[in-house]
Structure 1
Amino acid sequence: MLWCIKMLCKIPFVFIGDEAFALRPNFLKPYSQKELNYSRKIFTLRLSRPRNVVENAFGILASRFRIFCTEINMKLQNIERVTLACCTLHNFLRSKCGETYISLNIKKFHYDGVAQNHSNEVEPTFIPLQRGHNRHARDEVKEVRDEFLQYFLNEGQVS
């Protein structure tokens, strides 16, 4: 338990992304396919779970509230308020309208950057990201990812 407390104090809060992003001190991504061994596969699986939850939640919000499909030109504080308001409204409508709200015009999001609705109309969603110039992470950035790997294999393991 003491090891866990020391590790949690040492490991920073991070954002989670996929392979398209550069590895940074506050941004974790999975190991590349050519770097995988057993422990790195475990790390990649554990990292993909919360990322998928966030992507699904964002996809639901974006399909309901079009403001999330473009750049939001507001102060950060107002963006937070709008996001919380949309989440609250979404949860309220789910509780009051049930299946009527849930099944209404839900879009299926695909990883190729297009959304497809029930009438099979395809429309663009997001602009594809361009690769960064410097794709080589510094050693200290890799150490942060390795610290998470050790946590996932020890105290943070799923039984």
Structure 2
Amino acid sequence: MLDLPEDKILPGTTGPALQYVLVADEAFALHKHVMRPYPNKTLDIEKRTFNYRLSRARRYVECTFGILSNKWRVLHTAILVNPDFATEIVKTTCVLHNFVRRRDGLNCNDELLTSDLPTLPNCNTSRPSNAINTRDLFKKYFMEEGKLEWQHNFI
């Protein structure tokens, strides 16, 4: 199982506490710890805003991993070791990457490795109401307390 932190109240709100989630795309099933976009059928402004913010988070993660994997070639392919050891390898590359960035400065010429990830089959599993509720609470947060002034310029 995932060793995620305890649920937390979002900044600027009084609750409820929300669980930590992983950002995902449409290929993944909605789960209480996996946030995927709303389906692209007649989306209102709130759902489009949620999808946009989720997409920005996914792109940030993908770009960061691309830079990291370009520097550390062990991340170019599947890491065929015990999962605990794979976790240590990834953590180690992060520590080394941060060390090199501090040593070389933030203006070093990192190149983004853009290799297409394989498309995963769409898993049409039932969506627990808890996951739907969590996604709706994040949607509400992005329209209120967590709203960015410029977010509607991109929707």
Structure 1 residue 137: Cα displacement: 2.4
Does 1:150 find its partner at 2:155? no
Structure 1 residue 59: Cα displacement: 0.8
Does 1:131 find its partner at 2:122? yes
| Paired residues of 1:94 and 1:102 also in contact (CA < 8 A) | no
| Paired residues of 1:93 and 1:101 also in contact (CA < 8 A) | no
| Paired residues of 2:38 and 2:47 also in contact (CA < 8 A) | yes
Structure 1 residue 12: Cα displacement: 1.1
Match of 2:153 in 1: none
Runs of 5+ in structure 1 lacking a partner?
114-125
Structure 1 residue 129: Cα displacement: 1.4
Match of 1:109 in 2: 114
Distance 1:35 1:144, change over 3 A: farther
Task: State how far apart, in whole Å, the 2-side matches of 1:38 and 1:147 are.
Answer: 15
Provide, for residues 25-83 of structure 1, a one-character-per-residue CA deviation record: whole Å limited to 9, x for no partner.
Answer: 11001112214111111111221222111110111112222222322233444333322
Structure 1 residue 17: Cα displacement: 0.7
Task: State how far apart, in whole Å, the 2-side matches of 1:91 and 1:6 are.
Answer: 34
Match of 2:13 among 4, 28, 39: 4
Match of 1:70 in 2: 77
Structure 1 residue 20: Cα displacement: 1.8
Structure 1 residue 131: Cα displacement: 2.2
Q: Give the secondary-structure state (helix, strand or coil) at the position aligned to 2:41.
A: helix
Match of 2:48 among 18, 41, 47: 41
Task: State how far apart, in whole Å, the 2-side matches of 1:75 and 1:35 are.
Answer: 44
Distance 1:92 1:3, change over 3 A: closer
Distance 1:5 1:99, change over 3 A: closer
Distance 1:90 1:140, change over 3 A: closer
**Cα RMSD (Å) of the superposition?**
2.9
Aligned residue pairs, count:
140
Percent identical pairs in the alignment equals: 30
Task: State how far apart, in whole Å, the 1-side matches of 2:121 and 2:72 are.
Answer: 26
Match of 2:58 in 1: 51
Bigger proportion of residues as helix: 1
Match of 1:29 among 1, 12, 36: 36
| Paired residues of 2:20 and 2:33 also in contact (CA < 8 A) | yes
Larger radius of gyration: 1
Match of 1:60 in 2: 67
| Paired residues of 2:32 and 2:131 also in contact (CA < 8 A) | yes
Distance 1:2 1:75, change over 3 A: closer
Normalised to the residue count of structure 1, the TM-score between the two structures is 0.71
